Structure 1
Amino acid sequence: MANQKEFDYILPGRAESYWLATTPESNYPALHGDIHVDIAIIGGGIVGLTTAYLLKEAGFSSIAVIEAGHILRGVTGHTTAKVTSQHHLIYDRLISKFGKRQAQQYAESNQAAIEKIDSIVNSRQIDCDFVRKPAYVYAGSGDSTGKIQKEVQAARQLGLPASFEEKLPLPFETYGAVRFSNQAQFHPTKYLNALTGEIHGDGCHIFEKTRALKIEGENPTTVTTDKGTVTAQKVIQATHYPIHDKPGMFFQRLYQSRSYVLGIRIRDPFPDGMFINAEEPARSLRSQRTDGGELVLVTGEGHRTGEEENETVHYQNLEKWVRSIYSVDSVDYRWSTQDTISVDHVPYIGRLTSDNDNIFLATGFKKWGMTTGTVAAMIITDMILGRSNPWEEVYDPSRFKPVESAKTLISQAIEATKGLVGDRILPTHKEASDIAPGGGAIVKIEGERVAAYRDQNGTLHTLDPSCKHMGCIVSWNDAERTWDCPCHGSRYNATGEVIHSPAVYGLSEKKVKK
């Protein structure tokens, strides 16, 4: 097990998202006691805050946003912040599996989300580095050229600003690309921090350090938190992965994936555009203007949450790849992010179930949450206002596409079963004494499986490794020093406190002889 110095050597750069490093941490109050509001929104990321902003703008004066930690410190604060309707190679598949009409809804809604963000930035004069850029998916090998050409054809059928490009301004060979013109990128926390100033006050609230624990009842609905209750006519789950996931069986229809980001400085100017390859492993590139010059964000190495024992290798792979194509002056930042993916790769946005008019959710954005999260806010706002929305059908959480979903549902069930019985997460040390400071592992002590972490002072913390969501066995993430669940993606810090839902309670302490 690596010690602290080895960790610092293996993982270069500051261990923080650039977005969070360059915006101040918020300081909204926690909930104290019980309140009644018209709208309760669980989650303080792009979906929750944009929805609160749009609803208040539409005339609602009693809204509560509930955030377990600090707003924007979750998935939204760890994005690569592309504002684009180009979601990898999606449109040819959407036409094939969903039909042209619903593929059109997906295309139009994400184009509209770009314009909505642009409109808000301009109307509120928000300084958030919003800039229009072309977005490219390129073929990294000749085998992918045909897929690129099909995607161009499909996207153009749907009226998207797509074209085929033979050559790209990248320092390695490519084999054609689909280009979407007039897309965008921005600084997400600067943008959303500006919206919070419009939300909080005049009967509307943002409550931080207030964890939602359960949702009960209809008309009204009560959200029980660790600081009191919020009773509302409408409740919106904007928690990335819904904490209330049994109605609708979302735990069977979602899984979570991790990917990695390096923020680097290179010697040559970065070309105009945002780039991602068509193959696996993913390699995504975009630049960001900073006070210290241009920062290039290098992203990729995705894998299912909790399935790997050595996650430091993903940062190493990204660094090795980018150094092979650019002269790198420094690696300034590193961070990881988590994405929720639906079985048919289209988000679930709308009513929790078809017969529930009071609880809404937005989840499954895959890796494109800046636009689809904004789409979610627009759709749910229309639903609450009783307005017809032209895109809600394709995102309906009650949908089921047998051809597209069946194989993934079976795979999801198999993965969850492995996590429940712990087949994949075998003890990695014979003795807890093998764990060095800063390290963790699943070990066996007195015949029982234990999640053990040794802090920098040498104290061993021992936890029950059963995830509080549905009892799967967590695994140790050596890159982030967290406990990650391989079944549904819950994550906990080294001492067992919840980082990512669907779990809402921390891992239990397990008393053992040390």
Structure 2
Amino acid sequence: MTSEKIPKLPKPYWRDLELPSFEKLTENLSVDVAIVGAGITGITAAYLLSKEGVKVAIIEAGSVLNGTTGHTTAKLTAQHDIIYDELINHFGEDKAKQYYLSTSSAIDFVENKINELGIDCDFSKEDAYVYATTDQTKSKLQTEYEAYQRLGIPGALKDTIPFNVQVKGALAMHNQAQYHPLKFLRGLLDEAVKSGCKVYENTTAWDIEEAETDQPVVVTKGGKRVTCKHVIMASHYPFYDKPGLYFARMYPSRSYAIGIKTDKEYPGGMYISADNPPRSIRSTPLEGGEKLIIIGGEKHKTGQGEDMMKHFEALEQFAEEVFGIKEYAYRWSAQDLITLDNVPYIGPITQDRENVLLATGFKKWGMTTGILAGHILTDYALGRDNPYKELYSPHRFQADPDLKKVITANLDVAKHLIKGKIEFVPKDPDELVAGEGCAVTYNGKRAGAYKDESGKMYIVDTTCTHLGCECEWNHAEKTWDCPCHGSRYSYTGEVIEGPAVQGLDLLEEA
């Protein structure tokens, strides 16, 4: 049974503020750089480019800052779980050091812009901790600390963390930060608009035409055309994926977060567990001196796993045990893309298409890598060098672990593709109760039905419009999620997340 405390509808804390709104694109446009996506990467790139006098337009399918950027835990850190020993083994010490320096530069950028532009966004310097609850993971922390020492990363091993959690040890990375990402990015967007950047909401990019004139054209769902010198795909998943086949080189993962109030005093710092199920802990200030405790965790491949509401319930139980819940104020989830080697893809979509750029695969750490991506893509668009281009190049290939992971990931896709096609669905739409959704048999074929609280029925074709997998019902968020490549749709069939750009067919609404 669902907890009585849990908010009925998902709502991220970060979106609980006033954001600017913009008109839909209604005419053809010509700019220097077209940016698809108004999240952290797109807005950072738009700010940097517009400040250099570049003519920029942002095209956003929904509203600004409503994607993954608005559904984060907002840790601004270079401590991306236990990763540096792995980076040294797969890339070498020089590249591992570059990873640390590049992600740390994002923290410096945020702090500098806050001071320069006077942005009030609840920024604070904090130590970040990854903690172990098993002896096996404790030994990994020791190895990771040795990697810190080799790379010159300021850190320390600890025996405990200041919570009622039984741990075997923790590894601190000093001088990290946290902030309110939407308050910060709203400030950057305001500055970009003042410098001439145009922004268009409710404008879905549908395709890219690459002409012989070296002037790519972004074609919108409404048929409008944006001609430019460079396209930056900052849409989380690259909506234009024909040349790069990125769907075969990443997998989507969902995670969850809740925001609670408690009577206990928060001791400071940001925390994440190295063991499963993952747990993330931080706080953020509220008006009146209160703090909101943000607890994240749980993870599974999109469209796969148990009833999604159980993940929120698991976080609630953890929060009750560790803090005691005075008020359960917010709950939300996020979708992240994970690359084969755990390093984002930032750069040209293919080696011979340097005017079509992308950033994707942030592996839950987009607060730093998203800002970094905005800088790298700006340098590509301006024809400048960047010291981190090679590390994040989408065209790198590390034989280990890339080859093993690409085979494993695509075998998983094949399994779910076949399962969806042969699955027997005995339920009839008329059997649903109010508030229920599930796969049903409709006119002799598999379909998806949802009956809202008023009793109105929505029946959709559950075949994902990306590559034909069958979507599964997500009870916690009332969506249809594809288990193969992570496309997500509303219960009426509209695309919420790519790679799909075309919605599910609405078969009946009654």
Determine if the TM-score, normalized by the shorter chain, exceeds 0.5: yes
Q: Distance in 2 between matches of 1:168 and 1:440?
A: 42
C-alpha displacement of 1:509 = 2.2
* Aligned residue identity for 1:439: E
Q: Distance in 2 between matches of 1:114 and 1:203?
A: 26
C-alpha displacement of 1:309 = 4.7
Equivalent residues of 1:113, 1:375 under 8 A apart:
yes
Q: Residues 54-453 of structure 1 correspond to what in structure 2 (within 5 A)?
A: 54-60=48-54, 62-201=55-194, 203-218=196-211, 219-227=214-222, 228-292=224-288, 293-423=290-420, 426=423, 430-453=427-450
Equivalent residues of 1:461, 1:495 under 8 A apart:
yes
Equivalent residues of 1:351, 1:359 under 8 A apart:
yes
Q: Distance in 2 between matches of 1:13 and 1:265?
A: 17
Equivalent residues of 1:262, 1:319 under 8 A apart:
yes
* Aligned residue identity for 1:222: V
Residues 312-370 of structure 1 show CA distances to partners (whole Å, capped at 9, x for unaligned) of 11011111122122222121111111111111111000111111120000000001000
C-alpha displacement of 1:26 = 2.8
Matched position secondary structure for 1:200: helix
Aligned position for 2:21: 27
Q: Distance in 1 between matches of 2:3 and 2:207?
A: 39
Greater Cα offset, 28-37 or 454-463: 454-463
Cα distance change, pair 324–269 in 1 and its aligned pair in 2 (3 A): same
Equivalent residues of 2:50, 2:196 under 8 A apart:
no
C-alpha displacement of 1:400 = 1.1
C-alpha displacement of 1:233 = 0.4
Equivalent residues of 2:10, 2:477 under 8 A apart:
no
Q: Distance in 2 between matches of 1:10 and 1:442?
A: 28
Equivalent residues of 1:248, 1:398 under 8 A apart:
no
* Aligned residue identity for 2:451: R
Q: Distance in 2 between matches of 1:309 and 1:443?
A: 18
Equivalent residues of 1:473, 1:485 under 8 A apart:
yes
Matched position secondary structure for 1:344: coil
Residues 251-283 of structure 1 show CA distances to partners (whole Å, capped at 9, x for unaligned) of 100111111111011221111100011111101
Matched, 1:484 2:481: yes
For normalisation by structure 2, the TM-score amounts to: 0.96
Equivalent residues of 1:309, 1:477 under 8 A apart:
no
Q: Distance in 1 between matches of 2:324 and 2:6?
A: 19
* Aligned residue identity for 1:100: E
Q: Which runs of 4+ in 1 moved over 3 A?
A: 6-14, 422-429
C-alpha displacement of 1:244 = 1.1
Cα distance change, pair 257–10 in 1 and its aligned pair in 2 (3 A): farther
C-alpha displacement of 1:419 = 3.1
Aligned position for 2:490: 493
Greater Cα offset, 78-87 or 405-414: 405-414
Matched position secondary structure for 2:20: coil
Q: Residues 444-483 of structure 1 correspond to what in structure 2 (within 5 A)?
A: 444-483=441-480
Matched position secondary structure for 1:119: helix
Q: Distance in 2 between matches of 1:341 and 1:197?
A: 31
- Among 6, 15, 20, the alignment partner of 2:10 is 15
Q: Distance in 2 between matches of 1:316 and 1:20?
A: 22
Matched position secondary structure for 1:422: helix
Residues 22-73 of structure 1 show CA distances to partners (whole Å, capped at 9, x for unaligned) of x11431111012110000000000000000001112221x100000010101
Q: Distance in 2 between matches of 1:249 and 1:320?
A: 40
Q: Distance in 2 between matches of 1:225 and 1:149?
A: 51
Equivalent residues of 1:415, 1:486 under 8 A apart:
no
- Among 33, 39, 42, the alignment partner of 2:36 is 42
Cα distance change, pair 277–205 in 1 and its aligned pair in 2 (3 A): same
Equivalent residues of 1:14, 1:332 under 8 A apart:
no
Cα distance change, pair 174–457 in 1 and its aligned pair in 2 (3 A): same
Greater Cα offset, 162-171 or 468-477: 162-171
Aligned residues: 506
Equivalent residues of 2:421, 2:470 under 8 A apart:
no
Matched position secondary structure for 2:94: helix
Unaligned runs of 5+ in 2: none
Q: Distance in 2 between matches of 1:56 and 1:71?
A: 17
Cα distance change, pair 426–299 in 1 and its aligned pair in 2 (3 A): farther
Residues 175-217 of structure 1 show CA distances to partners (whole Å, capped at 9, x for unaligned) of 1111011100000110111111111255420100000001110
Cα distance change, pair 424–96 in 1 and its aligned pair in 2 (3 A): farther
* Aligned residue identity for 1:44: A
C-alpha displacement of 1:424 = 8.7
Matched position secondary structure for 1:197: helix
Q: Distance in 1 between matches of 2:158 and 2:196?
A: 52
Q: Distance in 1 between matches of 2:244 and 2:178?
A: 34
Equivalent residues of 1:11, 1:312 under 8 A apart:
no
Q: Distance in 1 between matches of 2:5 and 2:242?
A: 41
Q: Distance in 1 between matches of 2:427 and 2:6?
A: 27
Q: Distance in 2 between matches of 1:497 and 1:10?
A: 30
Matched position secondary structure for 2:506: coil
Greater Cα offset, 443-452 or 84-93: 443-452
Unaligned runs of 5+ in 1: 1-5
* Aligned residue identity for 2:413: A
C-alpha displacement of 1:142 = 2.1
Matched position secondary structure for 2:114: helix
Equivalent residues of 1:309, 1:478 under 8 A apart:
no
For normalisation by structure 1, the TM-score amounts to: 0.95
Aligned position for 2:45: 51
